[in-house]
Amino acid sequence: MNIRNIIVTFGLLAAAGSVTVACAQDTIFTYQGRLDDGNAPATGVYDLQFTLWKAASGPSQIGAPVTVNDQQVTNGLFTVSLDFGAGAFEGSARWLEVGVRAGASVGAYEILTPRTRVLPSPYAIYAGAAAVAGTASGVAANAVASSGIADGSITAADLNTASVDGRYVLKAGDTMTGPLTTPDLTVPGTITSSSLRSEIFSLRLNSPGDLEFTIDRDANPALLGFFEVFNGEGHHRFWVNEAGHGRIYGNWTADGTVAAAGFAGDGSGLTSAGLVRTTVLDVTCHPSVSYGTTYTKLVNIGSFTKQLAGSTIELTFNGRVYVGTMTNSATGAVFELRVDDTATTNGRARASLRFAEAGGGGIPTSITGIFTGLGTGTHTVNMWICGSYAGGRQAMLDTGCWGTDHVVVKELK
Protein backbone atom coordinates (compact mmCIF):
# COMPACT_ATOMS: atom_id res chain seq x y z
CA MET A 1 0.00 0.00 0.00
CA ASN A 2 1.43 3.37 -1.04
CA ILE A 3 -0.57 6.01 0.80
CA ARG A 4 0.42 9.31 -0.68
CA ASN A 5 -1.47 11.90 1.28
CA ILE A 6 -4.57 12.68 3.25
CA ILE A 7 -6.40 15.96 2.96
CA VAL A 8 -8.41 16.90 6.04
CA THR A 9 -11.00 19.48 6.89
CA PHE A 10 -11.84 20.12 10.55
CA GLY A 11 -14.45 22.26 12.27
CA LEU A 12 -17.37 23.93 10.50
CA LEU A 13 -17.36 22.15 7.16
CA ALA A 14 -19.59 22.16 4.10
CA ALA A 15 -18.39 19.52 1.67
CA ALA A 16 -20.10 16.78 -0.34
CA GLY A 17 -23.42 17.86 1.18
CA SER A 18 -22.42 17.24 4.82
CA VAL A 19 -22.01 19.74 7.68
CA THR A 20 -19.87 19.23 10.80
CA VAL A 21 -21.19 21.17 13.82
CA ALA A 22 -19.02 21.57 16.93
CA CYS A 23 -21.08 21.68 20.14
CA ALA A 24 -19.91 23.22 23.40
CA GLN A 25 -21.90 20.70 25.46
CA ASP A 26 -20.16 17.68 23.91
CA THR A 27 -16.59 16.56 23.31
CA ILE A 28 -17.37 14.56 20.14
CA PHE A 29 -16.75 16.19 16.76
CA THR A 30 -17.04 15.04 13.15
CA TYR A 31 -13.94 14.74 11.03
CA GLN A 32 -13.95 14.43 7.21
CA GLY A 33 -10.92 13.71 5.11
CA ARG A 34 -9.74 12.63 1.67
CA LEU A 35 -7.28 9.76 1.31
CA ASP A 36 -5.15 9.02 -1.75
CA ASP A 37 -3.62 5.57 -2.19
CA GLY A 38 -0.82 5.90 -4.69
CA ASN A 39 -1.85 8.41 -7.34
CA ALA A 40 -5.60 7.85 -7.12
CA PRO A 41 -8.34 8.42 -4.54
CA ALA A 42 -8.49 5.45 -2.20
CA THR A 43 -11.46 3.10 -2.12
CA GLY A 44 -11.71 0.25 0.36
CA VAL A 45 -11.45 -0.52 4.07
CA TYR A 46 -8.69 1.11 6.14
CA ASP A 47 -7.68 1.34 9.82
CA LEU A 48 -7.18 4.94 10.95
CA GLN A 49 -5.43 6.20 14.08
CA PHE A 50 -5.76 9.82 15.24
CA THR A 51 -3.57 11.56 17.84
CA LEU A 52 -3.82 15.12 19.16
CA TRP A 53 -0.71 17.26 19.77
CA LYS A 54 0.23 20.61 21.32
CA ALA A 55 2.75 21.47 18.61
CA ALA A 56 3.38 20.89 14.91
CA SER A 57 6.30 18.60 15.83
CA GLY A 58 7.96 17.06 18.83
CA PRO A 59 6.74 14.94 21.79
CA SER A 60 3.70 16.88 22.97
CA GLN A 61 0.80 14.44 22.66
CA ILE A 62 -2.50 15.13 24.42
CA GLY A 63 -4.47 12.18 25.76
CA ALA A 64 -4.69 8.71 24.21
CA PRO A 65 -4.93 7.83 20.50
CA VAL A 66 -8.36 7.40 18.95
CA THR A 67 -8.51 4.35 16.67
CA VAL A 68 -11.14 3.71 13.99
CA ASN A 69 -10.88 0.19 12.57
CA ASP A 70 -12.29 -1.00 9.23
CA GLN A 71 -13.35 2.47 8.06
CA GLN A 72 -14.92 2.50 4.60
CA VAL A 73 -13.27 4.99 2.23
CA THR A 74 -15.06 5.71 -1.06
CA ASN A 75 -13.47 7.74 -3.87
CA GLY A 76 -10.97 8.99 -1.32
CA LEU A 77 -13.59 10.39 1.08
CA PHE A 78 -14.45 9.29 4.60
CA THR A 79 -16.16 10.72 7.70
CA VAL A 80 -15.53 9.65 11.32
CA SER A 81 -16.51 10.86 14.80
CA LEU A 82 -13.63 11.61 17.19
CA ASP A 83 -13.57 12.21 20.93
CA PHE A 84 -10.36 13.18 22.75
CA GLY A 85 -12.20 13.78 26.03
CA ALA A 86 -12.90 16.77 28.21
CA GLY A 87 -10.10 19.34 28.43
CA ALA A 88 -8.47 18.43 25.11
CA PHE A 89 -9.60 21.72 23.56
CA GLU A 90 -9.26 24.59 26.02
CA GLY A 91 -8.34 27.38 23.63
CA SER A 92 -4.68 26.63 22.88
CA ALA A 93 -3.46 25.64 19.43
CA ARG A 94 -3.81 21.95 18.52
CA TRP A 95 -2.47 19.72 15.73
CA LEU A 96 -3.87 16.39 14.44
CA GLU A 97 -1.67 13.50 13.35
CA VAL A 98 -3.12 10.64 11.28
CA GLY A 99 -1.86 7.07 10.93
CA VAL A 100 -3.20 4.71 8.21
CA ARG A 101 -2.95 1.02 7.41
CA ALA A 102 -4.92 -1.41 5.27
CA GLY A 103 -8.04 -2.72 7.02
CA ALA A 104 -6.84 -6.32 6.94
CA SER A 105 -3.41 -5.39 8.30
CA VAL A 106 -2.30 -5.76 11.93
CA GLY A 107 1.06 -4.06 11.35
CA ALA A 108 2.23 -0.60 12.23
CA TYR A 109 0.38 2.52 11.11
CA GLU A 110 1.95 4.67 8.41
CA ILE A 111 2.16 8.17 9.94
CA LEU A 112 1.21 10.95 7.52
CA THR A 113 3.20 14.15 7.79
CA PRO A 114 3.07 16.96 8.49
CA ARG A 115 0.56 17.25 11.31
CA THR A 116 -2.55 19.27 10.47
CA ARG A 117 -3.43 22.44 12.39
CA VAL A 118 -6.88 22.20 14.01
CA LEU A 119 -9.08 25.14 13.07
CA PRO A 120 -12.21 25.00 15.23
CA SER A 121 -15.60 26.47 14.46
CA PRO A 122 -15.73 30.00 15.92
CA TYR A 123 -16.12 29.81 19.74
CA ALA A 124 -17.71 26.36 19.68
CA ILE A 125 -15.06 24.12 21.29
CA TYR A 126 -13.50 26.70 23.61
CA ALA A 127 -16.84 27.95 24.94
CA GLY A 128 -17.60 24.79 26.92
CA ALA A 129 -14.32 24.98 28.85
CA ALA A 130 -13.63 28.71 28.85
CA ALA A 131 -11.55 29.72 31.85
CA VAL A 132 -13.03 33.25 32.04
CA ALA A 133 -16.35 34.52 30.72
CA GLY A 134 -16.13 37.99 29.17
CA THR A 135 -19.73 38.82 30.02
CA ALA A 136 -22.32 36.69 31.78
CA SER A 137 -25.75 37.67 33.09
CA GLY A 138 -25.94 34.44 35.09
CA VAL A 139 -24.43 31.00 35.58
CA ALA A 140 -25.88 27.57 36.15
CA ALA A 141 -26.32 26.33 39.73
CA ASN A 142 -23.05 24.98 41.22
CA ALA A 143 -21.16 26.13 38.08
CA VAL A 144 -18.66 28.29 40.02
CA ALA A 145 -16.31 26.36 42.31
CA SER A 146 -14.43 27.84 45.26
CA SER A 147 -11.22 27.94 43.20
CA GLY A 148 -12.98 30.31 40.78
CA ILE A 149 -13.60 32.97 43.46
CA ALA A 150 -10.69 35.23 44.36
CA ASP A 151 -9.77 35.22 48.05
CA GLY A 152 -11.22 38.26 49.84
CA SER A 153 -13.38 39.28 46.87
CA ILE A 154 -16.73 38.71 48.63
CA THR A 155 -17.55 41.44 51.13
CA ALA A 156 -20.33 41.81 53.70
CA ALA A 157 -22.29 43.93 51.20
CA ASP A 158 -22.50 40.94 48.87
CA LEU A 159 -24.04 38.68 51.52
CA ASN A 160 -27.72 38.32 52.27
CA THR A 161 -27.47 38.79 56.03
CA ALA A 162 -31.14 37.88 56.47
CA SER A 163 -30.25 34.29 55.60
CA VAL A 164 -27.30 34.18 58.01
CA ASP A 165 -28.28 33.19 61.56
CA GLY A 166 -26.41 32.66 64.81
CA ARG A 167 -24.77 29.50 63.55
CA TYR A 168 -22.30 31.57 61.51
CA VAL A 169 -19.73 34.24 62.37
CA LEU A 170 -19.51 37.14 59.92
CA LYS A 171 -16.90 39.36 61.55
CA ALA A 172 -14.72 39.76 64.61
CA GLY A 173 -16.77 40.18 67.78
CA ASP A 174 -19.76 38.16 66.55
CA THR A 175 -20.88 35.25 68.72
CA MET A 176 -21.66 31.79 67.38
CA THR A 177 -24.69 30.36 69.15
CA GLY A 178 -25.22 27.15 67.21
CA PRO A 179 -23.18 24.03 66.48
CA LEU A 180 -19.93 24.08 64.54
CA THR A 181 -19.42 21.36 61.96
CA THR A 182 -16.13 21.26 60.09
CA PRO A 183 -14.01 18.45 58.59
CA ASP A 184 -10.75 20.25 59.44
CA LEU A 185 -10.19 23.13 61.87
CA THR A 186 -6.85 24.86 62.40
CA VAL A 187 -6.68 27.17 65.40
CA PRO A 188 -3.35 28.88 66.14
CA GLY A 189 -4.50 30.07 69.57
CA THR A 190 -6.63 28.75 72.42
CA ILE A 191 -10.12 27.28 72.15
CA THR A 192 -12.28 28.26 75.13
CA SER A 193 -15.77 26.82 75.37
CA SER A 194 -18.29 26.32 78.16
CA SER A 195 -19.21 23.02 76.55
CA LEU A 196 -18.09 20.78 73.74
CA ARG A 197 -20.83 18.27 73.19
CA SER A 198 -22.91 16.38 70.67
CA GLU A 199 -24.26 12.88 70.18
CA ILE A 200 -20.72 11.87 69.20
CA PHE A 201 -18.02 14.47 69.70
CA SER A 202 -14.76 13.69 67.92
CA LEU A 203 -11.72 15.90 68.42
CA ARG A 204 -8.57 14.88 66.53
CA LEU A 205 -5.43 16.70 67.63
CA ASN A 206 -2.15 16.83 65.74
CA SER A 207 0.31 19.05 67.56
CA PRO A 208 4.11 19.06 67.73
CA GLY A 209 3.87 20.62 71.21
CA ASP A 210 2.24 19.75 74.51
CA LEU A 211 -1.53 19.45 74.82
CA GLU A 212 -3.34 20.66 77.92
CA PHE A 213 -6.94 19.97 78.93
CA THR A 214 -8.56 22.04 81.69
CA ILE A 215 -11.97 20.98 82.99
CA ASP A 216 -13.83 23.69 84.92
CA ARG A 217 -16.53 22.41 87.28
CA ASP A 218 -17.07 25.33 89.66
CA ALA A 219 -20.67 24.36 90.40
CA ASN A 220 -19.75 20.81 91.40
CA PRO A 221 -16.00 20.20 91.81
CA ALA A 222 -16.61 16.56 92.70
CA LEU A 223 -18.18 15.84 89.31
CA LEU A 224 -15.83 14.06 86.94
CA GLY A 225 -15.39 15.43 83.44
CA PHE A 226 -13.75 13.24 80.81
CA PHE A 227 -12.31 13.10 77.35
CA GLU A 228 -11.91 9.97 75.26
CA VAL A 229 -9.19 8.81 72.89
CA PHE A 230 -9.87 6.31 70.10
CA ASN A 231 -6.79 4.89 68.39
CA GLY A 232 -8.52 2.65 65.84
CA GLU A 233 -8.38 -0.42 68.10
CA GLY A 234 -10.35 0.60 71.17
CA HIS A 235 -11.52 3.45 73.40
CA HIS A 236 -9.40 4.89 76.21
CA ARG A 237 -11.08 7.32 78.57
CA PHE A 238 -9.52 9.84 80.98
CA TRP A 239 -11.60 11.08 83.93
CA VAL A 240 -10.55 13.98 86.15
CA ASN A 241 -12.05 16.58 88.48
CA GLU A 242 -10.74 19.92 89.75
CA ALA A 243 -9.35 18.34 92.91
CA GLY A 244 -6.96 16.35 90.71
CA HIS A 245 -8.64 13.00 91.31
CA GLY A 246 -9.12 10.86 88.26
CA ARG A 247 -8.96 7.47 86.68
CA ILE A 248 -8.18 5.87 83.32
CA TYR A 249 -10.43 3.41 81.54
CA GLY A 250 -8.69 1.01 79.14
CA ASN A 251 -5.40 -0.87 78.89
CA TRP A 252 -2.31 1.30 78.91
CA THR A 253 1.38 0.59 78.40
CA ALA A 254 4.02 2.98 79.73
CA ASP A 255 7.28 2.84 77.76
CA GLY A 256 9.05 5.20 80.16
CA THR A 257 9.12 5.61 83.93
CA VAL A 258 5.89 5.79 85.92
CA ALA A 259 6.27 7.76 89.17
CA ALA A 260 3.59 7.62 91.89
CA ALA A 261 3.47 8.99 95.42
CA GLY A 262 1.36 6.05 96.49
CA PHE A 263 -0.33 2.89 95.27
CA ALA A 264 -3.76 1.68 96.31
CA GLY A 265 -4.89 -1.90 95.66
CA ASP A 266 -4.02 -5.45 96.58
CA GLY A 267 -1.59 -5.87 93.67
CA SER A 268 -3.32 -9.04 92.47
CA GLY A 269 -3.48 -7.74 88.91
CA LEU A 270 0.22 -6.89 88.66
CA THR A 271 2.39 -9.25 86.63
CA SER A 272 5.99 -9.28 85.41
CA ALA A 273 6.84 -10.41 81.91
CA GLY A 274 10.51 -10.93 82.76
CA LEU A 275 11.68 -7.84 80.90
CA VAL A 276 15.39 -7.99 80.06
CA ARG A 277 15.76 -4.64 78.32
CA THR A 278 13.82 -2.06 76.31
CA THR A 279 15.09 -0.18 73.26
CA VAL A 280 13.25 2.66 71.51
CA LEU A 281 14.00 3.17 67.81
CA ASP A 282 12.94 6.50 66.32
CA VAL A 283 11.65 6.52 62.74
CA THR A 284 13.54 9.16 60.75
CA CYS A 285 12.48 10.86 57.51
CA HIS A 286 12.90 8.60 54.51
CA PRO A 287 12.05 8.72 50.79
CA SER A 288 8.59 7.52 49.76
CA VAL A 289 8.30 4.15 47.98
CA SER A 290 6.15 2.78 45.15
CA TYR A 291 4.96 -0.81 45.57
CA GLY A 292 3.02 -3.58 43.87
CA THR A 293 1.22 -6.75 44.91
CA THR A 294 4.33 -8.38 46.36
CA TYR A 295 6.01 -7.19 49.54
CA THR A 296 8.48 -4.31 49.09
CA LYS A 297 10.78 -2.96 51.78
CA LEU A 298 9.63 0.49 52.89
CA VAL A 299 12.43 1.43 55.31
CA ASN A 300 15.03 0.11 57.75
CA ILE A 301 13.89 1.66 61.04
CA GLY A 302 16.89 0.86 63.23
CA SER A 303 18.89 -1.83 65.05
CA PHE A 304 18.82 -3.40 68.51
CA THR A 305 21.01 -5.88 70.39
CA LYS A 306 19.58 -9.15 71.70
CA GLN A 307 21.38 -10.24 74.86
CA LEU A 308 20.05 -13.67 75.84
CA ALA A 309 19.75 -16.89 73.88
CA GLY A 310 16.20 -18.22 73.88
CA SER A 311 14.58 -14.88 74.76
CA THR A 312 11.60 -13.44 72.92
CA ILE A 313 11.52 -10.10 71.13
CA GLU A 314 8.34 -8.01 71.20
CA LEU A 315 8.12 -5.12 68.71
CA THR A 316 5.52 -2.35 68.86
CA PHE A 317 5.35 0.34 66.17
CA ASN A 318 3.45 3.51 67.06
CA GLY A 319 3.12 6.21 64.40
CA ARG A 320 1.49 7.17 61.15
CA VAL A 321 1.38 5.08 57.98
CA TYR A 322 0.79 6.88 54.70
CA VAL A 323 0.12 6.12 51.04
CA GLY A 324 -0.24 9.03 48.62
CA THR A 325 -2.26 7.29 45.89
CA MET A 326 -3.63 3.81 45.24
CA THR A 327 -4.40 2.35 41.82
CA ASN A 328 -8.14 1.87 42.24
CA SER A 329 -10.93 1.79 44.83
CA ALA A 330 -10.76 -2.00 45.19
CA THR A 331 -7.22 -1.99 46.49
CA GLY A 332 -5.59 -1.46 49.86
CA ALA A 333 -2.13 -1.52 51.44
CA VAL A 334 -0.70 -3.82 54.13
CA PHE A 335 2.21 -2.64 56.32
CA GLU A 336 4.24 -5.46 57.91
CA LEU A 337 6.80 -5.14 60.71
CA ARG A 338 9.82 -7.44 60.28
CA VAL A 339 13.18 -8.27 61.83
CA ASP A 340 16.14 -8.73 59.48
CA ASP A 341 13.68 -8.62 56.53
CA THR A 342 11.90 -11.72 57.88
CA ALA A 343 8.27 -11.81 58.95
CA THR A 344 7.27 -13.29 62.29
CA THR A 345 6.03 -16.88 62.45
CA ASN A 346 3.94 -16.10 65.53
CA GLY A 347 0.77 -14.71 63.99
CA ARG A 348 1.04 -11.49 62.02
CA ALA A 349 2.59 -8.10 62.66
CA ARG A 350 0.52 -6.12 60.18
CA ALA A 351 -1.79 -3.15 59.74
CA SER A 352 -3.89 -2.28 56.71
CA LEU A 353 -4.74 0.98 54.96
CA ARG A 354 -7.90 1.29 52.87
CA PHE A 355 -8.26 3.12 49.56
CA ALA A 356 -10.39 5.80 51.22
CA GLU A 357 -7.59 6.49 53.73
CA ALA A 358 -4.94 7.28 51.08
CA GLY A 359 -3.59 10.83 51.00
CA GLY A 360 -4.28 13.25 53.82
CA GLY A 361 -1.87 13.31 56.73
CA GLY A 362 -1.49 9.57 57.29
CA ILE A 363 -3.35 7.23 59.63
CA PRO A 364 -2.28 6.73 63.30
CA THR A 365 -1.40 3.04 63.61
CA SER A 366 -0.04 0.58 66.17
CA ILE A 367 1.55 -2.71 65.05
CA THR A 368 2.79 -5.38 67.48
CA GLY A 369 4.71 -8.55 66.63
CA ILE A 370 6.34 -11.38 68.61
CA PHE A 371 9.62 -12.80 67.23
CA THR A 372 11.21 -16.02 68.50
CA GLY A 373 14.28 -17.96 67.43
CA LEU A 374 16.52 -14.93 66.95
CA GLY A 375 20.17 -15.34 67.83
CA THR A 376 22.07 -13.04 70.15
CA GLY A 377 23.69 -9.97 68.68
CA THR A 378 22.53 -7.11 66.46
CA HIS A 379 19.26 -7.23 64.50
CA THR A 380 17.54 -4.71 62.23
CA VAL A 381 13.86 -3.73 62.35
CA ASN A 382 12.23 -3.12 58.95
CA MET A 383 8.82 -2.06 57.66
CA TRP A 384 7.53 -3.68 54.45
CA ILE A 385 4.46 -2.89 52.32
CA CYS A 386 2.29 -4.84 49.90
CA GLY A 387 -0.77 -3.91 47.82
CA SER A 388 -3.93 -6.00 47.73
CA TYR A 389 -5.23 -6.39 44.14
CA ALA A 390 -3.06 -3.48 42.93
CA GLY A 391 -0.17 -1.27 44.02
CA GLY A 392 0.28 2.37 44.96
CA ARG A 393 2.77 5.23 45.24
CA GLN A 394 4.33 7.53 47.83
CA ALA A 395 4.21 5.10 50.76
CA MET A 396 6.08 6.19 53.89
CA LEU A 397 6.13 6.40 57.68
CA ASP A 398 6.24 9.51 59.88
CA THR A 399 4.21 11.71 57.53
CA GLY A 400 5.47 15.28 57.73
CA CYS A 401 8.75 14.17 59.36
CA TRP A 402 7.61 15.18 62.84
CA GLY A 403 9.94 12.65 64.45
CA THR A 404 7.10 11.23 66.55
CA ASP A 405 7.01 7.68 65.11
CA HIS A 406 8.96 5.00 66.95
CA VAL A 407 9.34 1.27 67.53
CA VAL A 408 9.63 -0.08 71.09
CA VAL A 409 11.77 -3.25 71.25
CA LYS A 410 11.33 -5.42 74.35
CA GLU A 411 13.47 -8.47 75.10
CA LEU A 412 11.54 -10.88 77.32
CA LYS A 413 12.88 -13.99 79.08
- Please report, for the domain that includes residue 29, its CATH number: 2.60.40.10
Specify whether the CB–CB gap between 379 and 306 falls below 8 A: yes
Q: What is the pLDDT of residues 241-278, one digit of tens each?
A: 555 666 666 666 666 666 666 666 655 555 555 788 89
Which residue type, as a one-letter code, is found at position 109? Y
The pLDDT-based confidence of 104 (bands split at 50, 70, 90) is confident
- The reply to whether 199 falls in a domain is no
Q: What is the mean pLDDT of residues 169-193?
A: 63
296 has pLDDT over 60: yes
- The reply to whether 408 falls in a domain is yes
pLDDT at 304: 95
Q: How far apart are CA 6 and CA 36, in angstroms?
A: 6
- The reply to whether 396 falls in a domain is yes
pLDDT at 23: 46
pLDDT at 226: 54
SS3 103: coil
pLDDT at 21: 38
Closest residue by Cα to residue 329 from 385, 388, 397, 399: 388
Q: What is the mean pLDDT of residues 326-347?
A: 90
- As for how many domains the chain has, the answer is 2
- The reply to whether 239 falls in a domain is no
Ramachandran class of 232: left when φ > 0, alpha when ψ lies in -120 to 50, beta otherwise = left
Side-chain half-sphere CA neighbours of 296 within 13 A = 18
Where is the domain boundary, 70, 105, 127?
Answer: 127
Q: What is the mean pLDDT of residues 101-114?
A: 87
Which residue type, as a one-letter code, is found at position 199? E
Cα dist. 257→37, 60, 75, 131, 283 in Å? 87, 62, 91, 61, 21
322 has pLDDT over 80: yes
Where is the domain boundary, 106, 127, 148?
Answer: 127
Where is the domain boundary, 96, 127, 158?
Answer: 127
Which residue type, as a one-letter code, is found at position 174? D
pLDDT at 252: 65
CA gyration radius, the chain: 33
The pLDDT-based confidence of 12 (bands split at 50, 70, 90) is very low
- The reply to whether 83 falls in a domain is yes
152 has pLDDT over 80: no
- The reply to whether 216 falls in a domain is no
Point out the least confidently predicted range of 164-168, 257-261, 283-287: 164-168
The pLDDT-based confidence of 199 (bands split at 50, 70, 90) is very low
Q: How far apart are CA 12 and CA 27, in angstroms?
A: 15
Higher confidence at residue 354 or residue 5? 354
41-63 in b/e form (b: 16+ CB < 10 A) is ebeeebbbbbbbbeeeeeeeebe
Domain range for 362: 276-412
The pLDDT-based confidence of 201 (bands split at 50, 70, 90) is very low
Q: How far apart are CA 182 and CA 87, in angstroms?
A: 32
- The reply to whether 389 falls in a domain is yes
Cα dist. 354→132, 175, 361, 383 in Å? 38, 40, 14, 18
pLDDT at 194: 55
DSSP calls for 317-378: EEEEEE-SEESSTT-EEEEEEEETTB--SBS--EEEEEGGGSSTT-EEEEEEEEE-SPPSEE
- The reply to whether 252 falls in a domain is no
